[in-house]
């Protein structure tokens, strides 16, 4: 079964889509300017989709845990302030 969450948040997937569409535009004698604009729109749309899915996953995990979700490698701004205060 296809993991659509992983596909839709993958930069490689969106790069492949953008490349395919760009080649179609050029193959049908579209201008390079048009191809570049369409590619930019696809990549911008991909960023929005990835952000929405990512936020949805975080919200779902937060709802399941009943509180705060701790993501590996992400530092909470409040914790950073507490650490700075402790050093002073």
Rounded average pLDDT per 10-residue block, the chain, 88 residues: 83 91 93 93 91 85 72 62 58
Specify the pTM. Answer: 0.61
Q: Computed from CA positions of residues 33, 38, 44, 50, in that sequence, does the dihedral angle turn out positive or negative?
A: negative
So what's the pLDDT on residue 3?
85
d(CA 81, CA 54): 25
DSSP per residue over the chain, as a string?
---HHHHHT-HHHHHHHHHHHHHHHHHTT--HHHHHHHHHHHHHHHHHHHHHHHHHHHHHHHHHHTS--PPTT---HHHHHHHHHHH-
């Amino acid at each position: 079964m296809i993991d659509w969450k992983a596909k839709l948040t993958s930069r490689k997937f969106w790069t492949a889509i953008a490349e395919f569409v760009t080649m179609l535009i050029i193959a049908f004698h579209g201008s390079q300017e048009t191809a570049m604009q369409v590619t930019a729109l696809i990549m911008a749309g991909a960023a929005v989709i990835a952000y929405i899915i990512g936020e949805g996953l975080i919200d779902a995990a937060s709802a399941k845990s009943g509180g705060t979700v701790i993501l590996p490698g992400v530092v909470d701004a409040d914790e950073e302030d507490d650490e700075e205060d402790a050093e002073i």
